[in-house]
Structure formats: structure tokens, C-alpha cells
Amino acid sequence: MKKTFIIIFLFSFPKGYASDSLMVTDGFHLKPEFTGRKIAATSAIGGLLVTSLLWSYDTWWRDSGRQFHFITENWLNGQLRGIDKVGHFYTSYFYYHLFRNIMLWGGYDETVAQWWAFGGAAFFALAVEVGDGITPQYGFDYQDLVFNFGGIGYGMLQSKIPFLKNFNFKWSYIPDGGYRFPLRFTDNYDAHTYWLTCNVNNLLPESIAPYWPDFINLAVGMGVDDHATRREFVIGLDLNLESLFRTDNEDWLLVERTVNMFHFPAPAIKLTEDKAPRYYLFHRN
């Protein structure tokens, strides 16, 4: 009996080790050894954080010198009709998934990727609020942080609960006058739409699912109009790029998942306060 156990152990150990080394985590392969790709992943996250903070400084904090102060708005009923709060939620949600996917692409395991993503997104959110705190026209707003951590929290829940991956947040930003560089997103909130998309195909009964294309999602969006004085909602369709362009290439998968967090023009109906419904073959903003 003892000899039998030893033989089984010796044959099963290499097999188990090989299986772990090739384990697939959310479409990416684990790499137990420290590779160049791991260095690239951690460097990319550091570079993205530095670049984001420099852009924030140039956009909001340059020439600021006021004593640190606080500001409090009326949650979703502030002067911007809540679009800025939704923007905080999405920004942290976006950074969490971007950092997590980069770490998985680098070959790190799920736990490491998740906590790097949490730390990076939380650091950026807190840094932005501290910067706003010394800027005359802004201020440290705890409500912004609530929405920031709400976005991070929902991203983490999606990592733990597969069913939630059927409900994703996306963003579209197409200014009427076209893009101007350097980009100043907060100068034109009317060009923002934040979307909650639903993967209908995964939620339908098996007998019906084949009749609904898996790359077509339903989406509900929120935006503002007339210089952020009117709130508006949009009901439309959304493209799921991961279903439309399936790939096993990890490089393209990272690009695809990043791009898939943006909403592309599609048929929609827009409902704006005190205005008649508007219909779009390709809704832009």
C-alpha cells in the first residue's frame, strides 16, 4: 500500500505542477517564473498612474495654491446634474479593470492582479481628491470618493461573481466640434454618456438564446444637455467586442478588453428633460 502511494505521488506531482503552470486565469495564462512580461506589466501600471497624475495636474491643478479645503455637493443633484459623480464611478471602474487585465496579461495570478488593481485605482482616486482640495475652484469632496470606491467595488465583485460580468459599465465621449488636444474632458460634460450594458444572450433561456446575437447588448445611458443643466437618459444597443472578435492571442485580448470598455455609436432613443424624445441610427453623445 505504501509503495502504491509513493508511485501515485511521483506520477501525479509533475502533472499537477505542469497543470498549475499552464492554468488559465480569465483568458490569460499564469507564468510562475518572473518574466519580462511581468516587468512590462508592473511598469505599464506605474507609467499609466504617472501619466494620469501629470494630465490631472495640467488640467486642473496648475497654478493652484489655495489652502486645503473641503466641498460638499448634493450627491446626484449638484450643479452638474450628477454627471461628474457618475464619471468618478466609471473612471475608477475603468482603472480597476485596466490594471487587473494588465497584471493578468503579465502572468500574475488572480489575487495579485486584483489587489494591484485595487491599490492603483484607489491611489489615483485619492490623489485626485487631494489635488482638488488645494485648487480654488474645486475642493476635497468625500462624495466623489464614495463613487470612486463604488466603481472599484463593483469591479472587484465582477472578478468574484461571474454573473455580474453580464452587466458592464461603458463610456462614450464625442464632442460636437471634434476632439481637440490636449483633451479636457471636464470642459464639455454634454459630450459624455455613461452606459450600463446588459449581455442579453447570456441571460436568455437556452431555447431562445441562439436567436439573439451574442455580440449585441442592450444599454441604458446617462448624460446631460444644455451645458449640464438638463439630465438625459438613452436606451439603445451596444457592441460586445469580446463576442464579435474572439481571440486566443493574449496581446489582442488585452487590447480588446480595454477597447470594450467604451461604447461605440449605435441605434438609440434619447430622453431629455423638457424635450421630445430623439431617435438615432448612430447615437454619438
Output the pLDDT for position 62.
84
Predicted structure pTM score:
0.90
Query: Residue 161 has what DSSP assignment?
Result: -
Q: Which cell is 173 given?
A: 465621449
Identify the sign of the CA torsion 261, 89, 121, 186. positive
Output the pLDDT for position 10.
35
* Residues facing 270 on adjacent strands: 234, 278
Q: Where are the alpha helices (DSSP H) in the chain?
A: 2-21, 36-56, 83-105, 110-133, 142-160, 200-203, 241-244, 250-259
Give 10-residue mean pLDDT values along the chain (285 residues): 39 36 77 88 97 93 83 85 96 98 95 96 97 90 96 97 96 88 87 97 92 96 94 97 91 96 97 94 90
Output the pLDDT for position 229.
92
Which residue, among 76, 92, 72, has the nearest Cα to 84 in the 3D structure? 76
The answer to whether 220 and 196 have CB atoms below 8 angstroms apart is yes
The rounded radius of gyration (Å) of the Cα atoms in the chain is: 22
Q: Which residue has the cell 463610456?
A: 171
